[in-house]
Amino acid sequence: MGERLIVALSGGVDSAVAALLLKRAGHELEALHMSNWQEDEAGYCAAAADWQDARLIAAELRIPIHHVSFATEYRERVFSHFLADYAAGLTPNPDILCNREVKFGVCLDYARRLGGTALATGHYARLATLEGRPRLLRARDADKDQSYFLQAMPRQALQLARFPLGELMKTEVRELARVAGLPVHDRPDSTGICFIGERPFKAFLETYLAPRPGPIETPAGERLGVHDGLMYHTIGQRQGLKIGGLAHHGAEPWYVAGKDVGRNALIVVQGHHHPRLLSVAFATGPVAWLAPVPAAGVELRVQVRHRQAAVPCGLTLAAGGARVELSERLRGVAPGQHAAFYALDECLGGGVIVATECDERAALDASAA
């Protein structure tokens, strides 16, 4: 007899196949569909449609399904921080916070109250127990790997999580769904964050954060234009600056290189590979470790975006954070992003980037050229 599991059934193909595989493996299975966002009038968040699809999947698999709303918890633990970070000029990742606070926080607790021994999800990641402890590993499908988004989940949740898709390629998942006759086998993958949906990001933020215009400047302090608000821009961004065709500056496009929050100034440079866009090191806040702190000599890699290749790094821990020295320059690293640390395929944990460092000599030379 298998485990008594609760599967988080979102209404998409991934969680549907996760449920299919667990049922075939002989587990006693019930589904849980959670709503984290109240449907808005414009209909950008398809929460109602997701619930209907989840019900159809549960009916096809003949498993009970529960519905619960964590909208209040999501707003308090995720969305409020999302807005505060953007207002402070940061570039947050709410999906990472959602996994920690909601999916493997209140949702996992709810699943345990339903009698589940563990919570299964459709994440593309693997779990393994080695040397007596659970470890979070990258998925077999490197393009779909979601271990980066799981870097901050509570360490104790590793023992209570199940990721049935970790060894599968996305093409195999869709084929399993098609052959099984699951009604969502050809449903497009969801992209972005539910509460934003397909609407323009700036338009969404404007409903919560009022525009706050300020100067657009070069690193030397030359004023080039006016921005609508620091929260509408991130490091490395090109679009939306509206400062092309400036005399004495040539034809190369401009990119966001920094934010002076105190003066509400947006700092820009010319050229896709300007040294101010390329970080050689960065600092993080406290690191949330899923594994023991790596010993000296362990070869570490760091990843600062989903689907970005992890690069070798040096790690120096200090009170309240860490300093990360990069083996190669990374473009567009921004405060507020999360840095995940890996040893081979194992995700060891991660922390929020609080400051970045570029090659100052190269940056000065480029600005003077």
Annotated active-site positions, please? Answer: 98, 194
Query: Which ranges of 35-105 would DSSP assign to H, the alpha helix?
Result: 47-61, 71-74, 80-87, 94-98
**311: its two tokens:** 């690069």
Give the separation between CA 288 and CA 297, rounded to whole angstroms.
20
**297: its two tokens:** 């000599």
Residues whose CB falls within 8 Å of the CB of residue 51, separated by 6 or more in sequence, listed in order? 11, 33, 35, 67
**227: its two tokens:** 């921005």
Among residues 141, 55, 153, the alpha carbon closest in space to that of 97 is found at: 153
DSSP letter at 327 equals E
Helix (H) / strand (E) containing 341: strand 338-343
Instruction: Please provide the size of the chain in residues.
Output: 369
Give the separation between CA 39 and CA 24, rounded to whole angstroms.
34
- Helices 170-179 and 13-24: crossing angle, nearest 10°? 70
Q: C-alpha distances in angstroms, 43 versus 153, 184, 211?
A: 30, 20, 24
**285: its two tokens:** 């806040």
